Amino acid sequence: MRVSLIQIDVDPAEPVEARRERVAELVRGQTGSDLVVLPELWTVGAFAADLFTTEAEPVDGRTAEVMSAAALDAGVWLHAGSIPERASDGAIYNTSLLFSPDGELRHTYRKIHRFGFDTGEAALMSAGETIVTAELPGGAVLGLATCYDLRFPELFRLLVDAGAGILVIPAGWPERRREHWTLLARARAVESQAYVLAVGTAGTHAGLRLAGHTIAVDPWGAVLAEAGHDEAVLTVDLDPALVAKTRADFPVLRDRLLGLPTPPRPAPPR
C-alpha cells in the first residue's frame, strides 16, 4: 500500500482559493499512490482563528468540490485534511474529509479534542463526539484523528478496538512543541501496534511557526520517513499485514485490563 503525505506551507499571503487549486495539483501528482493525506485546516491555517468563521463551509462546499475532483483525477483515496465546517445549525467543527478514488465523500470526522484552553479553536468550534474508522479495499482500516487528539491515548484505544491498523493524524502543530509531536506519534504507534501517518503544516501564520516534520511510523515505532520544516511530499510503502503480525508476535493488546470488562477467572481445579 503506497501512501503520499503532503506537508503544505500555509502562507497567509496566498489566497484560500489559490491554495485550494495548488494543493489539488499536488494531489493529482500522486497517481501512483493508494492513499494521499493532507494536513489540518490547511485552507486557513490551524491557528488563524479569525478565519474559522469567515471561511467556514459545509462538507459539500468549495474545498470538497476541489478535493473530490483531485481524488478522481489521481485515482486515489484522499484524506483531504480538515476544514472549518459550518454545520446546518450554524455550529463550526474542525472536520476531516475522506474521499474515495471515484471522488465520493465517504467519511467525515469531527475533531473531538479542541485545542486552546478556552480560547481559539476551543472557544470557536464545537467538539465532535464520534470516533471514525474507514475500511479501504484490501482490508486496511484507517482510524481518524486530528492534531491535539494525539495527546489523548484513550481515543486511539477506541480506534484500535474498532479495528484500526493505520492511524491518520492531520495536524497544524507548532514548532515550539515539535519534540512532543514526534514523540507522541511514535508512542501512539507502539502502544496501538499500528502505523501512524501524522501530517503537519509548514510555514508561519498567525505569528506562529509551524513544526512541519510530517512523519510515518510503523507498528514497532520505527520511523519510515520524516519531513523537515519546508513544504514536502513523503511517499512510503506500508504492509497492512505487518499490523496483524506485530500483534500476533508480541500480543500486548490482549493483556489490557483497565477500561475493558474484567476477564472471567478460571474455574478452580477439582
Q: What is the pLDDT of residue 135?
A: 97
Positions marked active-site:
40, 111, 147
Average pLDDT, integer, range 102-128: 97
What predicted TM-score, i.e. pTM, was given to this entire model? 0.95
Distance, C-alpha 243 to centroid of its chain? 18
CA distance 35 to 101: 9
Q: What is the pLDDT of residue 258?
A: 82
Phi, psi of 109 (to 5 degrees): -135, 125
Check pLDDT > 70 for residue 104: yes
CA distance 147 to 248: 29
Could you tell me which of 207, 180, 178, 193 has the C-alpha nearest to residue 7? 178
Residue 196, classed as helix, strand or coil, is strand
Q: Where are the beta strands (DSSP E) in 10-122?
A: 35-37, 77-86, 92-99, 105-110
- DSSP code for 61: S
Contact of 125 with 84, CB cutoff 8 Å: yes
Q: What is the pLDDT of residue 259?
A: 77
Per-residue exposure over 103-140, b if at least 16 CB sit within 10 Å of its own CB, e if not: bebebbbbbbbbbeeeebbeebbbebeebbbbebeeeb
Check pLDDT > 60 for residue 270: no
Average pLDDT, integer, range 242-261: 90
Phi, psi of 184 (to 5 degrees): -70, -35
Read off the C-alpha cell for 19.
491554495
